[in-house]
DNA sequence: CATGGTCAATTGTGATCACAAATACAAATG
DNA sequence: CATTTGTATTTGTGATCACAATTGACCATG
């Protein structure tokens, strides 16, 4: 048998989980879309057993909702729920950014600027999925410096729950400008300005919410 | 066939999940304790299939950790991880308490006082599991008034991760007094004192942490 | 006494099957 | 044409089995 590299091997249900998680978090599926065990199993050429584990896990994280009869679908969030999730993002991400600030050196800021350029390109192309993915990559790259894995995992769960809805919102948002608040975040990082950073992160996280209140 | 009440029926894996979740959250298992598919299956008289779903779900929520070879055990938290989880509790629970404050009427305060008495009894008996359960019930009862299900679910996940460790800490804590901060919380609720409430909740959540730093 | 090796038992994984419930669709009925 | 009924299909659930990898215990060797 071919020798497998330790970290190249993943159980089938774990590969499924990661693939589906990316689809949901980055808005590649729309809210309310159904997922069936046998449908996913056929697509990935596995049996239903690993699919069940992956879907159940996603449901446990709020990435999928389960109907009373046990069927899976991406959740269609109410406005109240969206407000709540945005508030959670604000709470946790402000803390993560604050913890990252003393560790944010120039190399990190440069990487963030590179990612920010990729976001601008996605905005120019009106590519919603790429926009969401690179935007979250911007935040994740910053927060990784906070050395707070539990907080990062928690906020990623929030991102996951908002994925399909963010995609649907992006359509009606009609973005034309690259992310303004990201520039404020970068400026505050360079200046070591903690209060400014907190305000900028909070504003960036809650900005999309205003479009919703109409 | 006997008619089943809608909410009395639960799938086997869901019953398992709830039972094991309670065991973990309330500290009935110690950190590092192993759980095997066949062991749990035999205990609950089911096959391994529903057990796998329940354990995987708990692992996804951080209530169990999975070794490199796939075995399940309750996590043994590092001090850094405990500090992080306590910080998450502080962030989210202060927000939940703040949101609950305007809705906290006299009937709620009375229920909280009743629960608080039960906590005192558990402390007097040195019953760690009952102490943890009633203490969390105190917090949950208050936060339910916040009408913020996503935040409550998030903080419950944090409680879940800390369960076994809280139990282990309780032993070396040697509590003799009923919860002092709970009285401060109740006083702030009665007075409608938001700043005081925030300080009291934060102090209550982070109090156990001081015992650890030795 | 410590260390390495061999073999049996344990453990998680994934496929398959039977089953019951829910759903979808078409035909029948008013 | 709208509503209901009946049937076929779809769907999630749980049990069982084979398999590979890990673990653990016992024994031999230094």
| Smallest Cα distance from A191 to chain B, Å | 26
CA end-to-end distance (rounded Å), chain B = 61
CATH number of this structure's domain B6-73? 1.10.10.10
Render pLDDT for B63-107 as a digit per residue (tens, 0 to 9). Answer: 999 998 899 999 999 989 999 999 999 999 999 999 999 999 999
Domain spans in chain B, listed from the N-terminal domain onward: 6-73, 79-212
pLDDT tens digits for A144-182? 999 999 999 999 999 999 999 988 888 776 677 778 899
Structure confidence at residue A4 (pLDDT): 32
Cα–Cα dist B105/B97, whole Å:
13
Substitution target in B84, B99, B153, B205 with the highest count of A β-carbons within 10 Å is: B84
**DSSP per-residue string spanning chain B:** -PPPPGGG---HHHHHHHHHHHHHHTT-S-TT-EE-HHHHHHHHT--HHHHHHHHHHHHHTTSSEE-TTS-EE-----HHHHHHHHHHHHHHHHHHHHHHGGG--HHHHHHHHHHHHHHHHHHHHT-HHHHHHHHHHHHHHHHHTT--HHHHHHHHHHHHHHHHHHHHHHHHH---S--HHHHHHHHHHHHT-HHHHHHHHHHHHHHHHHHH--
**Residue A42 pLDDT class (50, 70, 90 cuts):** very high
Which 8-state DSSP code applies to residue A7?
A: T
Range from A44-58, B160-174, B197-211 that averages highest in pLDDT: A44-58
Nearest CA in chain A to B155: A154
Report the distance separating Cα A150 and Cα A210, nearest Å.
29
Among B56, B62, B150, select the one facing A84 at the smallest CB separation: B150
Cross-chain Cβ contact A150/B62 below 8 Å: yes
Percent of chain B with pLDDT over 90: 75
- B 58-87 residues, CB < 7 A, strand D: 67-69, 71
CA→C1' distance for B168 and D5 (Å): 62
**pLDDT higher than threshold 50 for residue A3:** no
pLDDT in tens, A101-130: 999 999 999 999 999 999 999 998 888 899
Tens of pLDDT, residue by residue over B155-193, are 999 999 999 998 888 877 667 777 889 999 999 999 999
1.25.40.10, 3.30.70.380, 3.90.1150.10, 1.20.120.530: which CATH number matches B79-212?
Answer: 1.20.120.530
How much is the ipTM here? Answer: 0.89
Token duo for residue A38: 């046998």
Q: What number is the average pLDDT over the span A78-84?
A: 92
Q: Is the dihedral of CA B126, B128, B134, B136 positive or negative?
A: positive
Mean pLDDT of A41-67: 95
B88 and chain A in contact, CB less than 8 A: yes
* CATH class held by domain A12-73: mainly alpha
């Amino acid at each position: 048998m071919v020798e497998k590299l330790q970290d190249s091997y993943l159980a089938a249900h774990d590969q499924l989980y990661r693939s589906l998680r990316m689809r949901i978090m980055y808005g590649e599926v729309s809210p309310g879309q159904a997922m069936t065990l046998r449908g996913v199993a056929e697509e990935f050429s596995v049996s239903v057993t690993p699919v069940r584990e992956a879907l159940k896990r996603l449901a446990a994280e709020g990435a999928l909702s389960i109907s009373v009869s046990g069927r899976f679908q991406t959740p269609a969030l109410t406005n109240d729920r969206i407000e709540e999730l945005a508030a959670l993002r604000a709470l946790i991400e402000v803390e993560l950014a604050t913890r990252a600030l003393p560790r944010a050196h120039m190399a990190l800021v440069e990487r963030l600027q590179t990612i920010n350029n990729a976001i601008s390109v996605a905005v120019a192309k009106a590519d919603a999925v790429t926009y969401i993915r690179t935007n979250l990559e911007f935040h994740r790259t910053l927060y990784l410096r906070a050395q707070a894995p539990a907080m990062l995992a928690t906020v990623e769960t929030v991102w996951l729950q908002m994925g399909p809805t963010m995609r649907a919102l992006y359509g009606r948002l009609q973005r034309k400008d690259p992310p303004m608040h990201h520039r404020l975040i970068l400026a505050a990082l360079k200046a070591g300005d903690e209060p400014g950073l907190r305000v900028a992160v909070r504003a960036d996280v809650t900005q999309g919410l205003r479009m919703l209140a109409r």
